[in-house]
Amino acid sequence: MSAISSEPTGPFAHFTRDFTASIVVFLVAMPLCMGIAIASGVPPERGLVTGIIGGLVVGLFAGSPLQVSGPAAGLAVIVFEFVREHGLEVLGPVLLLAGVLQLAAGALKLGGLFRAISPAVVHGMLAGIGALIVIGQFHILFDEKPLSSGLENIAMMPARFIGLDPFDLSGTELALALGVLTIAVMLGWEKLRPKSMALVPGALLGVVAATMIAWSLSLGVARIDVPASISAAFVLPTSVGWFAPLASPALIMAAVAIAFIASAETLLSAAAVDRMHDGVRTEYNKELRAQGIGNFLCGLFGALPMTGVIVRSSANVQAGAKTRLSTILHGAWILGFVALLPWLLAEVPMAALGGVLVVTGWRLVSLKHVRHLLEAHGYLPAAIWATTFVLVIATDLLTGVLVGLALSLVEILPHARNWRLNVHEHDEGTATRLELHGAATFIGLTRLNAVLEKLPADRPVHLDLGNVRAMDHTTAETVREWLSRRRQRGHEDRVTGPETILRPLPLTA
């Protein structure tokens, strides 16, 4: 009997590993759900509701079984600005429409299009969001509310320090101390933790340490406001007038923006999760439909928007999860905790969650990626990253993304007369030769991805780029990651073609 046939099957085939992994993910998700809600300018229970739906519902239908969905830092800024401008009560119908758009995109099999978005734009967007989170949550560390824009938050930062009095430890000074303690515990734990406790999340320990000190010393700092019953957090529409905001063109555009950004972040996260394990690959259109169902329900219940989240997903894989049962169970643990122990959550200092989000936001500002773009692909992709990053901070998220996408066209303009990419597959006995003709740009990337993923897994591949006239950084990054995944599984693939085409692909042989 082969190894494949002897592998246990069924939803409970790996129950023990999924059960333990779900607890790890639950411990990672709890502080993040609340912290991201606060960063978004909404009550913390709204983030918990999104986490519950992401586990119990999206986990059941997801096209990426090991990906964990919930409130994401990547949408915190756009939600904060939306709620400030339009009010929390309008978020529900807009998010419901965003969910419908994601469902439609999945049904129309548009999942592959999101994977063709320039990595420079996506990572520049995430870095800009990370910087805005750090800048905004900096004020939470002082028990103050963030201001209405990134530039205003930056301008106000010196005043926070000037207002401190080390000889009169009142609420502000104590809150800052708890926030700094949370950050120190998180970072210190990750550097010093023993291997046997590698799965214990530093964010949880930081929040627990700050909460214990605030509770034991009865410190006069702001704490999170949690409803006495979780049922109060599930707010259903009470009248037909609830849908009235959907008649506004501006709010419809906001729904489109949320759907677009949430889908892009989800599918990029799913691709990253696929690189972490050798199990079932992501069905991108199915994942889009699952996210659409989740955001539809989040809108219906007045919760935060959701995406697939790489932090929780990587914790899930590293904890040994094998099936979607782990994701589903983590949603059940969140529901059980907030239903039975709301009084415990009410003891958590706001500054502690601010500390968690400062670290989370800082990690989104990855200069490593822009350095890679510069070294592998030249100045233009790095400039796209930088432009997107700056505009997200200085203007708004949608402007930054749209300008970044427009600049991505500049990279392929010299090849405007020959944008067409032809892909030919040849059987050469012991190997498969994939021959590309034309310009390999993001315009033809959806079709190329479909061909690459259908190639046989039991034989080597010869990727022939001899007739490729140009390759943009989006396609080069996609091919590089595809080669990396195959070679990690032991495939002896090779790539041939002009040196100018191969230069962005360091994995060629």
Task: Quote the pLDDT of residue 107.
Answer: 94
Residue 342's contacts (CB-CB under 8 Å, 6 or more residues apart) are 226, 227, 228, 229, 230
Give mean pLDDT, residues 182-190.
93
56 close to 304: Cβ distance less than 8 angstroms = no
CA–CA separation, 507 vs 483, rounded Å? 7
**Which tops the pLDDT comparison, 412 or 328?**
328
| Confidence bin at 3 (pLDDT 50/70/90) | very low
Residue 224 pLDDT: 84
With a CB cutoff of 8 Å and minimum separation 6, the contacts of 422 are 436, 437, 438
Render 288-328 in DSSP notation, one character per residue. HHHHHHHHHHHHHTT---EEEEHHHHHHHHHTT--STHHHH
Taking 70 as the threshold, does the pLDDT of residue 178 lie above it? yes
For residue 405, what are its two tokens? 């996408």
Q: How many CA atoms lie within 13 Å of 55's alpha carbon, on the beta-carbon side?
A: 26
Q: What pLDDT is attached to residue 500?
A: 67
Average pLDDT over residues 91-116: 92
Of the chain, the percentage scoring pLDDT greater than 90 comes to 35
Q: CA distances (Å), 220 to each of 34, 161, 214, in order? A: 20, 19, 8
8 A C-beta contact, residue 25 and residue 317: no
Using one digit for the tens of pLDDT, what is the confidence trace for 6-62?
A: 455 556 677 888 998 899 899 888 888 988 998 898 988 899 999 999 999 999 999
**Mean pLDDT in residue range 66-81:** 88
Check residue 98 and give its pLDDT: 97
Measure the CA–CA gap between 94 and 96, rounded to whole angstroms: 5
Fold of the domain built from segment(s) 419-502: Transcription Regulator spoIIAA (3.30.750)
Contact 396, 79 (CB under 8 A): no
Residue 382, pLDDT score: 93
Give residue 12's region: left, alpha or beta (phi > 0; psi -120 to 50).
Answer: alpha
- The string of pLDDT tens digits covering residues 447-460 is 898 899 888 878 89
Query: What is each CA distance from 466 to 371, 418, 451, in whole angstroms?
Result: 28, 16, 18
Q: DSSP string covering 156-218, please?
A: HHHHHHHT--TTS--HHHHHHHHHHHHHHHHHHHHHH--GGGTTS-HHHHHHHHHHHHHHHTT
pLDDT at 386 over 90: yes
Read off the pLDDT band of 190 (50, 70, 90).
confident
SS3 state of residue 462: strand
Q: Give the range with max mean pLDDT: 57-61, 75-79, 165-169.
A: 57-61
Q: What is the pLDDT of residue 236?
A: 84
What pLDDT sits at residue 8? 58
pTM for this model (two decimals): 0.81
pLDDT score at 185 = 95
pLDDT band at 504 (very low <50, low <70, confident <90, very high): low
pLDDT at residue 278, rounded to an integer: 74
What's the whole-number mean pLDDT along residues 242-260? 91
pLDDT surpasses 80 at 1? no
What are the beta bridge partners of residue 417? none
Look up residue 496 and give its amino acid.
T
Query: What is the pLDDT, as a whole number, of residue 126?
Result: 82
- What H or E segment, with its residue span, contains residue 496? strand 494-496
Rounded CA separation 143/170 (Å): 11
Nearest-angstrom CA–CA distance, 380 and 147? 33
What integer pLDDT is reported at residue 5 of this predicted model?
40
Q: Is the pLDDT of residue 275 over 80?
A: no
Confidence of residue 412 (pLDDT cuts 50, 70, 90): confident
Q: What is the pLDDT of residue 280?
A: 83
Using CA atoms, how far apart are residues 234 and 240, in angstroms rounded to an integer? 18
In this predicted structure, the answer to whether residue 418 has a pLDDT above a threshold of 90 is no
Model confidence pLDDT, tens digit, residues 86-98: 999 999 999 999 9
Residue type, 207: V
Q: What angle do CA 479, 75, 300 make, to 5 degrees?
A: 115
> What gap in Å lies between CA 150 and CA 335, rounded to an integer?
34
Query: Confidence band (pLDDT; 50, 70, 90) for 300?
Result: very high
pLDDT tens digits, residue range 301-357? 999 999 998 888 888 888 888 899 999 999 999 999 888 888 888 899 999 989 988
Q: Is the pLDDT of residue 84 over 70?
A: yes
Check residue 414 and give its pLDDT: 79
Length of the chain: 509
Average pLDDT over residues 170-187: 91
Question: Does 507 score more than 80 pLDDT?
Answer: no
The structural domains of the chain, with segments of one domain joined by +, span: 14-356, 419-502
Residue 231 DSSP symbol = G
pLDDT digit string, tens, across residues 212-234: 999 999 998 999 887 777 777 78
The string of DSSP letters for 317-371 reads HHTT--STHHHHHHHHHHHHHHHH-HHHHTTSBHHHHHHHHHHHHHHH--HHHHH
- pLDDT for 10 equals 58
